[in-house]
Structure 1
């Protein structure tokens, strides 16, 4: 049995490399896209929540409306556990706000803690 020429070995290695890239590239791209979406969701919830902390008339504010719509829509589109965790923290922020037009110091501290928890979510 012959082991083959160098050209055959190089060709075989190139084929194995091509198959490996073809198999794992879509997985890598999907994972990267999920990371970007999760990072974007985190940033939107954090930024919007921080804007709500000092506001009066929260229920009438555009930020509160955006936050509630974003969380409700994104929850339906959640594709992985990290996304669900991020959106659940956003939903908890909305629940802490409740029907309040102005946040009490206790509500502000709860939301600040939830924002910190959100920042700690590893993507």
Structure 2
């Protein structure tokens, strides 16, 4: 039984690997982009809420605009929970009946649901 020259075997294996890479590279790229987008959403949400708690000017308005734009551009269901927590935090920040330390405690509890932390 003749199995052929080794160069044909190497070429065949290289072709199979090229096909596998061509088939799965778009899925891997999309997965990495989705993870990167979710990380960016988490970081920006955390920084904007911290700025709002520190009473920086226009921070609540900026957070509101960011959440609206993120909601409209959201195509990933994994980000829905982050956006929901962000909207709940915004409602707490806008509520005049909630005092400063109580706002921080309630937002910290909300953020713990999505594994975010507030720095002091």
TM-score, normalised with respect to structure 2: 0.81
Q: 1:48, 1:102 → 2: CA distance?
A: 19
Counterpart of 2:89 in structure 1 is 93
Query: Which stretch shows the higher mean deviation, 99-108 or 18-27?
Result: 99-108
Partner residue of 1:74 out of 60, 70, 90 = 70
| Preserved contact between residue 53 and residue 103 of structure 1 (Cα < 8 Å) | no
Distance (whole Å) between structure 2 residues aligned to residue 32 and residue 47 of structure 1: 23
* Cross-structure match for 1:22: 22
Residue 45 (structure 1) shift: 0.7
8 Å CA contact retained: 1:46, 1:118: no
The alignment covers a number of residue pairs equal to 116
Alpha-carbon offset, residue 115 of structure 1: 2.5
1:1-123 correspondence to structure 2 within 5 Å:
2-55=2-55, 61-100=57-96, 103-119=99-115
In structure 2, stretches of 5+ residues that fail to align are: none
- Distance in 2 of aligned mates of 1:103 and 1:34: 37
> Alpha-carbon deviation of 1:28?
1.1
